[in-house]
Amino acid sequence: MRQRGFGLAAALSLCVLASGPARAAENATIVVTIQSFAGAPADSATRFVFMGAFAQEFDAGEMAWQKRTGDSWASSGERRNRFRLVDMAAPEAAWTLDVTIGLPPPVVIAQPKQKSSDPTPKPRATDYRASRGLTIVAAATAPVGTSARPPGEPLKFSIYFPDAKRVVVPSRKLPGGAYAYPWEEAGRAVARAALEVLHRANDTLADDERADLSPAVRTEDTP
């Protein structure tokens, strides 16, 4: 009995050792570098918020996904995010990402001129956006030397933020009004879209799966 038990334990140990490399490869971190990023907000403070949220989303340990059922999409929970964004990496060790975003045009609202006696000076102008929309075009390319090296097909996302606050009502001069743009949410949505592109390029995403971009809404989902 003791010999039989030892044999079973040895067999189990061999199974664990045999599955070790495959499991390690499955759980290995995948390094990503940004090859180009066009369209980020020009204002330095706004860009800091936007790009900070973008980077934080890549650093998150898990990512929310959706699954299609019939003609609708529903949450399918979170899964581990293996992709990690780094500043520099050897070309043969990292995926590269090209991102272009299209932001709504800015709306500059002049503020009333203040008296010199006003205790707290306010900015003379405020930068809002003409709509709640955002377009994202992203392409992922595999590391140098891999069979999948040709540049990935760019994917386009058209989204909007339904909860963005309207700060200026529509008028004859400004038909669409103006919105306080949700820069942090936008940065996170762009990161999730880019991660969806990376997963598709890496063949780790089924056709009936996609990233959950909430609170952003894809325009094709609008009734």
| pLDDT per residue of the chain (223 residues) written in tens, 0 to 9 | 444 444 544 443 444 344 454 444 456 889 999 999 999 999 899 999 999 999 999 999 899 999 999 889 999 999 999 999 999 999 888 999 999 999 999 987 766 666 666 666 555 456 789 999 999 999 999 998 776 556 678 999 999 999 999 998 888 877 778 999 999 999 999 999 999 999 999 888 899 999 999 999 999 988 7
pLDDT number for residue 22: 41
pLDDT number for residue 145: 75
pLDDT number for residue 77: 93
**Which two three-digit tokens encode residue 42?**
């020009």
Query: What distance in Å separates the CA atoms of residue 124 and residue 116, rounded to the nearest whole number?
Result: 13
Q: Taking the mean position of all CA atoms in its chain, how far away is CA 59? A: 11
Query: What distance in Å separates the CA atoms of residue 69 and residue 61, rounded to the nearest whole number?
Result: 26
pLDDT number for residue 144: 84
- Would you tell me the crossing angle of helices 183-201 and 44-59 to the nearest 10 degrees? 40
pLDDT number for residue 1: 42
Dump strand ranges (E) for 46-183. 62-69, 72-80, 83-85, 94-102, 106-110, 125-129, 133-141, 155-160, 165-168, 178-180
pLDDT number for residue 8: 42
Q: Where are the domains of the chain?
A: 28-217
For residue 2, give the amino acid letter.
R
**Which two three-digit tokens encode residue 164?**
């963005």
- List 85's β-bridge partners, or say none: 32
pLDDT number for residue 110: 66
Query: What distance in Å separates the CA atoms of residue 106 and residue 131, rounded to the nearest whole number?
Result: 9
**Which two three-digit tokens encode residue 176?**
């669409």
pLDDT number for residue 52: 96
